[in-house]
Amino acid sequence: MEGWLSLCLMALAMLMALCFLRLSGYKNNPKKRLPPGPWTLPIIGSLHHLIGALPHRTLTALSRRHGPLMLLRLGEVQTVVVSSAEAVALVMKTNDLTFSSRPSIPTMDILTCGGKGFAFAPYGDHWRQMRKVCIVELLSSKQVKRMEGIRAELVGGLIRHITHTAASATGGAAGGAIINVSEKVTRLSNDVVSRAVLGGKFAQQGEYIRTLYDALALLGGFHLIDFFPSWRLVRWLSNEERNMKKRYGRVQHIIADIVEARREATKAAGGGGGASCGSTNDDDMLDVLLRLQQEDTLSFPLTSEIIGAVLFDILGAATETTGILLVWAMSELARHPEAMAKAQLEVRKVLGEDHRAVITNSDLAELHYVRMVIKEVLRDPEHWENPERFRPERFENSKMDYTGTYSEFTPFGTGRRQCPGIQFSSSLAELALANFLYHFDWMLPDGETPASFDMSEKFTFTVSRRYDLHLRAIPHVCLKSMPSK
């Protein structure tokens, strides 16, 4: 509603905008070799093509019409859409240094504190040092392995909770219970990330998740102040900027409370208000950042503002993305019973009949089909045969992994700005999915069929389900023999 109101207000300001463009000398430069793109309108450019709830679908359709390199004129901002494996390789590998920075976008600047974290920071020394700290202290193979016990503990807690819920339901465990899978995996992801970053759960966790999701939803929307950054009139007429600052202020207030509580606890323990001198294997990310702040060894002052921005980047990125991946994987398996049965058979054959409390990371190496399921959820439909068909078998004997080596499969990006949390995210996704498949039989809610099951999506910072995923979970009491196909 607010987006339409803003467009109406902008239309009322059309004459003033035309005067501005004339005074600013705005014109197309005929000497520039620009990619093709859809037809444009005065002032708004290509924005009218993106009106709708699912702009990523619109971009896909436009790219098929105009080619793998497509120019969109979004108000004042010229944007090139890259949508083929070859073009991705050209941009993110061959010329990755040229495209390795991040532009200044008003809403992004508000929600990332001007890029003072690392995910949206401009390319340079600040970005390199903060990224290195996050990789070495949190996201490296060594650190991901160190957290195996934590992941197993938290996944095990969720399995016990779902089992208890099913056993307490009307009809008992045999009938199972309807579980809000979206809610459970979001909380699981946040619990794991919070343990790694903050040392555990915190009092304001529920409020933080809600506020974080509100902020990310705003970040993923279309905002006129981003398309007309030099127009003071747009800023004055719209309350987008105020909403952004309010959400980000609340998120940072919660983080500031956590940081201050840690400082007080460290001081009470005799640490002098910073983290204890020297690193230990038990340090979480906040300990590391406070220690670096105290040691002052970086090439720039590690201010509390930067610490807050880094924590926001990590908590925001890791919580939402891993949770959404698990939700889509369970959604696809629920509406493809053959794939569900095949995945469960693999897990239960590999692990035997000991009905252990929780699967561990050491068990995952043999779960090839489970990995294929996750890859099938993450793949780009443009580069595969029968792209709309869910068929994990297409990755059988495939060398493609998450590292971005193959331009046809880059779910975590590639090049200098590739997501550094590949192992952190994939290890949790594989562990959680394997445990779900081992411990429960999953069914669609009563009255739902694979054909009628709602798979509609919504577009925010990521692409998630429009509605939460609800499935019936029935505890798996004994191994059931499944006929071979």
The annotation places the binding site at: 419
Q: Cβ contacts of residue 242 below 8 Å, gap of 6+?
A: none
Binding site for heme, by residue number, is 419
Place of tokens 């919580």: 319
Residue 403 CA from chain centroid, whole number: 17
Contact 317, 119 (CB under 8 A): yes
Across the chain, which distance is largest between two alpha carbons, in Å? 77
Residue 331 CA to residue 129 CA, distance in Å, equals 39
Sorted by sequence, the CB contacts under 8 Å of residue 201 that are 6+ apart come out as 191, 194, 195
Tokens of 323: 């949770």
Residue type, 34: L
